[in-house]
Amino acid sequence: MTQMETIACVFTGMGLAAMLAACAPAETPAPAVEPATEVAAPIEAETPAAPEAPAYAMPAGGQGLIFTVTPCYGTCPAYSVNLFDDGVLLFRRSHRDTPDVDVIVKEDAFETPEGFQELVDQLESQGLSELNGNYTNTMTDGRCRTDASSKILEVRTAEFTKRVEFYTGCSEFADETTLQGLFSVVEEAVGAEDLLAQSESPTAPE
């Protein structure tokens, strides 16, 4: 090949390369990478605080006496008494026609530190341990009317817990006299009559 032919071939090759380069598709630029977005950590919901126990509530395992009189269809008072072994007494009385609740607190229900044990001994002498727990209008003996209240007694000591429910509309049944004597002792011990009179007065604490 002559020198002129060689030069022609070189220029021909260069032209072909330029043509191929011109016809080649343009490179597509890579998509821009967006910066990573920081995800905020989820906010943990605050756990609501546990409700405080009501003042003078009978603690689990605590020693004391709980006496309750339920409503009737008439005007008989409905109330409850918590009497603690240290002499603190909490009286609550609800009213039929209003949401009001009378509350009376005494801190010296017993004259001596042994007062609670002496009361338990007195209730035992009245036959507390021998009574069964249920004297309601489902009894098969005796007669029962349907418009009376119930009296419920729960005694808690280090040795035992005893609960007795007495529907006062029932009569002429076994243990009736024992129950009446037992609840008379309880009502006198907590001062039920005075507490009811105080709750009915205009100056009764709310």
Highest mean pLDDT among 46-50, 60-64, 113-117: 113-117
Nearest to 142 by CA among 94, 112, 175, 117: 175
3-state SS assignment for residue 182: helix
Is the pLDDT assigned to residue 194 strictly greater than 90? yes
Distance CA 80, CA 56 (A): 13
pLDDT digits (tens, 9 = 90+) for 71-102: 988 888 999 999 999 999 999 998 877 778 89
Beta bridge partners of 150: 167
3-state SS assignment for residue 78: strand
- Go through the chain and tell me how many residues it has: 206
> What is the Cα gyration radius of the chain?
44
What's the one-letter identity of residue 153? L
Parallel, antiparallel, or unpaired for β 170-171 and 161-167? unpaired
Is the pLDDT assigned to residue 7 strictly greater than 50? no
Distance CA 23, CA 104 (A): 102
Nearest to 167 by CA among 104, 76, 100: 76
| pLDDT for position 40 | 56
pLDDT digits (tens, 9 = 90+) for 97-152: 777 889 999 999 999 999 999 999 999 999 999 998 888 866 666 678 878 899 99
Torsion from C-alpha of 67, 70, 74, 77, nearest 10 degrees: 40
The token pair that represents 121 in the structure block: 């001994």
